[in-house]
Structure 1
Amino acid sequence: MREKISIISLGCARNLVDSEVMAGLLRQGPYEVVSEPSHAQIVLVNTCSFIDAAKEESLDAILEVSRLKEEGKLRTLVVAGCLSQRYSEELMRELPEVDLFIGTGEVPRIVEILQEHQQNQRRHYVGIPSYLYDHATPRRRSTPSFWAYVKVSEGCDHKCAFCIIPKLRGPHRSRPIGSVVEEVRSLAEDGVKEINLIAQDLTAYGRERRDGTTLYGLLRELVSVTGIQWIRLLYAYPNFLDESLLSLIRENEKICKYLDIPFQHVSAHILRRMRRGKSGSAVREALARLRQAIPQLTLRTSLIVGFPGETEEDFQELLDFVQEAQFDRLGVFKYSIEEGTAAALMESQISEEDKERRWQELMEVQADISRRKNEALIGTMHRVIIDGFDPETARFIGRTQAHAPEVDGVVYVDPSPARTKSGTACRPGDLVEVKITQGLDYDLIGEILDA
């Protein structure tokens, strides 16, 4: 009989892909992957440790699963991912209920590790990460059938003062173009219409290979894959978005006019301390260049408040910048001290009260910007991919090219009387024409227009 294993995946989309790969490998082995931890003999928690909140979420999940073990419902508890990579020895001492700790580079060995594990034998498997999956790697997708994440590279070579990712994920390494294209072709054959390309830094794709591999070259190949309707770029740096790449994004209808670029701050003083290599004027110039190159661009960014040394003047400059830049999407993080980073050793740490106040102020400004942008869309037409149905509002839920899955708002879609009468309601994955009728803080409401 196949043993049952349940995987709890926490953190970012890149971590989710690792969970999907482990699920695929486990299914090839003597395991059955189940959704409910209470129905499994083995539970694997794939963790995140990027910031304090992520670490707390990971620890809470581990402790919740450990109760199943205490009740005798679970035989083996496995902790994988960034938390294990970073703290395996400490966690071995602090969490005796955990049997195995697996680092980020051990994903392809998951079956081997479980097979060699013996009852009451606790071990940790953590090395220097070098793993990178390819098109031939089995993968059990957990996203809806019509969209998928595709991780084109792993690791990071940037030296940002606040970030621990290079130590957790290793140096930057890219998949060959052919491998990515083969995976996307396979996904298209399975009915996937939307591809979301992910990496720590998409614009670094291919740079270390020194064989001419570039993001531009990859996109040129991907747009020719039959069946793929949308290709979205997530996690890019502005430094390496050259004119040829921007032109391709602008001109090809399959590539979403959407970029997620983490500017982090605008104060020259803070950017220097962050080791971001940009002045405030350079950030503004990059923003202007992007919008000029792609007039219909939807731009998401992330910012950090409360970085060590951030004065009230620095924060006011950031607040003014957000008002000036009018970002379409904005994520704001409160800086948290991360051991092993340069910023953790900096003086002039900011109080939690000031971080919270600054976060609230920025989010209030952005909510107003977002609402006004959404209200300006009333009466306009958009192609929407249907994600599902919301019984509470009796509306379908969907997204435009301007809405990345899981992180952005949605479009609530009123079904048309004609479709309701004829019984041709929308199905998940359908692409429909929608007229926007209402704009909310982060979401839109619209109605389907039938031909």
Structure 2
Amino acid sequence: MKIGMISLGCAKNLVDSEWILGMLKKDGHEIVGQIQEADALFINTCGFINDAKKESIQTILEAIQQKKESTYLIVIGCLAKRYKEELQKEIPEIDLIIGVDEYEQIGHLLNQLLHSKLSTTWDINDRVLTSYLPYAYLKIGEGCSNCCAYCAIPLIRGPYYSYPKENILKEAHHLINMGIKELVIIAQDTTRYGKDLYTNYFLEDLLEEIAQINPNVYIRLLYLYPDRITDRLIQIFKKYDNIFPYFDIPIQHSSDVLLKAMNRTGNRKIYLDVIQKIKKEIPQAILRTTIIVGFPNETEQDFLDIQEFLKEVEFDHVGIFTYSNEENTKAYELKNKIPKRIANQRKKELLLLQQKISLKKNQNRINQTHLVLIEDYDGNNYYGRSYVYAPDDVDGKVIIKSKKKLFIGDEVLVKITKAYAYDIEGEAQV
């Protein structure tokens, strides 16, 4: 049978999609890239915030129109877990709905649908990469135990649990042997790794083992909780040249009052202290964070606080989101909701502030030489990423002029000549 996959949402969802495709391919199914070719079409949905839910529903409805009438439509992922009954009722064209907690049974459920007797087994090392790009995500855990007041992830994916180190290292070896040049380590909370599974083996230990596999393969770490960044972790970033000095630290806000209301661990001082420590130990460190504006009861003083925090820290990259009122979360019942127009205005003001900060930081990179991983070409320019930028256009990119032909996957030294708010531009030194 020909299997198609549409993967929506975050990188963690993408890894799940690739694991599922690998499992099905192992069973003899053929993986195809076009909706019209598929005999069974999987849509891996996101149900995190309202905009993501709308995108998932729209994608399902569009797929119904585009697919062959005989094609089975299988909806999986966070939306499937969170709204299974509603989806069954409102979109009867869906043939099978599978939540994130049922992935180990996905082969069995598919075989039931197809009246097949194939014996499907779940093995993360059968993963099929869905991208031709020279990086891959390495997922080290599932779920979340932080229970932030605004977040539905614990409701959807359950409490945090770490994957066994043997499985992770095996997959890392597998990806590197496939030619991957950058491993991007992810989980909902990477800094929690190992605490539920081992007594003396944590993220720092895992990171060292991965770094030692191949010194020519770079490692990027995402989703670091600020109050769990240890001195030892910072020293490991310093110790290994192939670990990018890139710190993705989601703080969500800087107001202690709002942080408490959000049920976030840590506070403004803790966040500043760890950031200052990183800057002192690793002056070239890239700092990224995410901010939520418009959380219930956010005052003008709270908003001023986060503005001042951004000015003081000068993050390289900031993702800014307006609060999404998610049912069954603690924040859902809070009063004094911020009107959408005010939340959007605050987001706009923060974006403008951060653009100025990012532009200044990028201007300081002019005349620097960066090692860039080539990922795209449009006929005029090449595009890629240095250690400054995470994948999937969440930060920005390097625009490259080159007199010599380059190829996707090439690693090229680029002298930076121009700076923009999000991107930098340079000339390949070839």
- 1:404 matched to 2:400: no
Compare 246-255 and 21-30 and name the one that shifted more.
Answer: 21-30
Match of 1:146 among 134, 138, 161: 134
**Map of 1:125 onto structure 2:** none
Pairwise CA distance, 1:118: 5.7
Q: Are 2:237 and 1:252 aligned? A: no
Q: Quick one: which amino acid aligns to residue 372 of structure 1?
A: K
Match of residue 158, structure 1, among 130, 136, 146:
146
Query: What amino acid does structure 2 have at the position aligned with 1:24?
Result: G
8 Å contact kept, 1:134–1:175:
no
What is the distance in 2 between the residues matched to 1:306 and 1:219? 36
In the TM superposition, residue 74 of structure 1 has moved relative to its aligned partner by: 4.0
Name the CA distance, whole Å, in 1 between partners of 2:301 and 2:268: 13
Does residue 96 (structure 1) correspond to residue 92 (structure 2)? The answer is yes
- Tell me the equivalent position of 1:126: none
* Pair 1:275-2:263 in alignment: yes
Contact persistence 2:417–2:426 (CA under 8 A) = yes
Is contact 1:191-1:227 (8 Å) kept? no
* Residues 74 and 445 (structure 1), Cα distance of their counterparts in 2 relative to 1, 3 Å cut: farther
Q: What displacement does 1:226 show?
A: 2.5
SS of 2:427's equivalent in the other structure is strand
Q: Deviations over 1:263-314 (max 9, x none)?
A: 0000111011001132222222222122222221101100000000101111
1:34-433 correspondence to structure 2 within 5 Å: 34-68=32-66, 72-117=68-113, 137-226=125-214, 228-391=216-379, 394-406=380-392, 407-416=394-403, 419=404, 425-433=405-413
State how far apart, in whole Å, the 2-side matches of 1:284 and 1:14 are: 28
Give the counterpart letter for 1:99 in structure 2: D
Aligned position for 1:445: 425
**TM-score, normalised by the number of residues in structure 2:** 0.95
The amino acid that maps onto 1:43 is L
> C-alpha displacement at 1:227, in angstroms?
6.1
**Contact 2:227/2:266 (<8 A) preserved:** no
Q: Tell me how far apart the structure 1 counterparts of residues 142 and 207 of structure 2 sit (CA, whole Å).
A: 18
Q: Contact 1:189/1:227 (CA < 8 Å) preserved in 2? A: no
SS of residue in 2 equivalent to 1:307: coil
Contact 1:176/1:213 (CA < 8 Å) preserved in 2? no
Tell me: CA distance 1:431–1:118, structure 2 relative to 1, closer, same or farther (3 Å).
closer
The worse-fitting range, judged by mean Cα deviation, of 290-299 and 259-268 is: 290-299
Distance, in Å, in 1 between the alignment partners of 2:138 and 2:46 is: 19
Whether contact under 8 Å (1:134, 1:179) holds in the other structure is: no
Which amino acid counterpart does residue 100 of structure 2 have in structure 1?
T
C-alpha deviation, 1:204, in angstroms = 0.2
Q: Distance in 2 between matches of 1:246 and 1:118?
A: 51
TM-score (norm 1): 0.91
Distance 1:306 1:177 in 2: 39
Unaligned runs of 5+ in 1: 120-132, 420-424
Q: Give 1:30 shift.
A: 4.1
User: Separation in 1 of the partners of 2:234 and 2:143?
Assistant: 24
Q: Is the 8 A contact 1:41 1:74 kept in 2?
A: yes
SS at match of 1:402: coil
Question: Any gaps of 5 or more consecutive residues in structure 2?
Answer: 116-121
Identity of aligned residues (%): 39
Q: Which residue of 2 aligns with 1:129?
A: none
1:20 and 1:441 map into 2 onto residues whose CA distance is 33
2:118 aligned residue:
none
Match of 1:17 among 11, 15, 18: 15
Number of residue equivalences: 423
